[in-house]
Chain A
Amino acid sequence: MSALSQALTYQTFHFDVVIIGAGGAGLRAALALRQQGHKVAVVSKVFPTRSHTVSAQGGINAALGNAGDDQWQWHLYDTIKGSDYLGDQDAIEVMCQDAPKIVRELEHMGVPFSRQEDGKIYQRAFGGQSQHYGKSQAKRTCAAADRTGHAILHALYQQNLHAGTEIFSEYFALDLLRQNGSDLLICGVLVQNLQTSELSVLWAKHTLLATGGAGQIFRTNSNASINTGDGLGMAQRAGIPLQDMEFWQFHPTGVAGKGMLISEATRGEGGILRNANGEAFMGRYAPKVKELASRDVVTRAIALEVEQGRGCGPAQDHVLLDLTHLPHDVIENRLPGIREISRTFLGIDPLEAPIPIFPTCHYMMGGIPTNLEGQVILPKQPMGANHSEQIAVPGLFAIGECACVSVHGANRLGGNSLLDIVVFGRRAANAIHQALLMAPHELAVTEDTSNISALLQRYQRWLEPANPETELTVFSLKTELQKIMERHCGVFRDQAHMQQAVNQLEHLEHQFAALRLHDQSALFNFERSSALELENLLAVAKATAYSALARQESRGAHSRVDFSERDDQNWLKHTLFYAEKAQLTYKPVNLTPKHHAPFVPEKRVY
């Protein structure tokens, strides 16, 4: 125990690697590192199998070719096209090439994939998938019924139990530890035991962020309440920019009015979208592949149908996803989870009646910028002339939804995120393993040469009681934040709205600065963890609003009414947002895969 200020004491631990996040990404990396014999700690604010990977439904993409011809090159093409050419082609190439092996490896770890008659992994069609570079529909999504995320997360957790990974379950990561001095060097993390509120310092030679998404910045979302972008907040506070934060995927088929996800698998298995006239309207928006167009396309189609008065229901505020024509056994065996969600939350059995759906905020394409090895990178001279030269932040890695490699660009294809988290989870682990072999020595940082005291000082405010009279609560602020983002940074955007978002977020930030806690209990203090999360949500929302406002074009999920076309001349580049001065800078997109000719941006039609 070392004491710093009077009140705050903390315990100290030493590890080779600390991984923050026990979702698919974190657990995959932990397993690889543990199997190499390193001393690994995984920190998670919930018990590992409660991480949001568990909710993933439809499946994971890999060109296994079990259900018809397939090649990783076609997967590469589809992903680049899906990303609206903002994805880095070298990164996407790595992911698509690794995919078959990665999926087979998961299968060997016990993931109970559904099977075809020949005993191989079952693959279904998902949006944006093609054979022969856009010619015909491919079936590339490997599925365990519609519980693929659950199957993968549990298998990874089981493997980690076997490997003996040390897990700090129900510990909240507050901030990254940094070595004082000129260079940015990350050397661990400050965490808090949620049950007891005790603080601990986990020193680590390498720190890996795998904290998942932040869908909670929008009111209607498909995300768990724990998806609050904590990793992004921590990175920002450590001085690291966030990349491509204007790109948020709104999944076309959320349960109307509630937001839970109805997987794309429903459309892959043959589901049809209908408007109030009963018309299967997707034919008008994507004549060739209809329901299986890329998500951004389908989402805009639904939003437009509703906007133009063809929405269903008394308020005309949703459309219908019709599965009633599908054979019953398809729904019962391939989509049991969807049926369960529909029955539970809507009282509707999709065997008998169509499901009311509306787009819901689902996935964050942006995140902490990394290279192909998961190392966090940033421009050497952010505002200088040569801003495209990137350097790695020593000691810091990021993977999974919180990272931006970028393999999803401006729009992610369904089934590519589960792939992303395992591929780059493994790659980052390999890179860390190599780094540990090369430099096995202990950290030279101590309390005095790190930012611990500054972090503890920042934390002090949560020990000050709130004025009992105040109306201001963490809950009211969060609701306000979600409303701002939904109103001003949703599916369709324009200058005026986004400017309002920026202004209102600024105001919210001031209010947040005045926020204190009503509950001072040390035992599972939910108000405090919510406040810590809100701080991160605010950081994410701000990065989103600023980045979106600046990007004067429509690309992928960023769809502007006032700039309705893609503008490769000026905007084929990644955004980087620096929080400290709310500054933006840009870096080029990688357009040169190693083992394939480059894909030149073309008009995107489905």
Chain B
Amino acid sequence: MIHWQNLRGAAAHRWQRYSALYLAVYTPLLAIYVAQLPEQNSLQNLIGNLFHYCIFGYLSVIAYAFLLVHLWVGGRDILIDYLPRPHLNLGLNLYLLSLFAISLNLGWLIIDLYPY
């Protein structure tokens, strides 16, 4: 369980910076990668290629991890500002839970669709 009083300051700020930096570099790469894909492609194929033939897949996993970090720090900061204090812990935990749920779902999707 997350409690607002235990949230980190400088460390979170630092991770926010790192993740932003990584995503700033990653996003153009993603754009280039997507632009090079054949026009017709199945999702299954896409995922398979991503992880089997090139390292971009792994860069993407890292990007996703960083995205999670970025979403978490940014989101919790917004929640701290806007949520009434009595609901803050609930809000933070729900938010974290939803990030987990999305990640699980995504992971499951990848595993499910992985062709090899």
Chains A and B directly touch (beta carbon < 8 Å): no
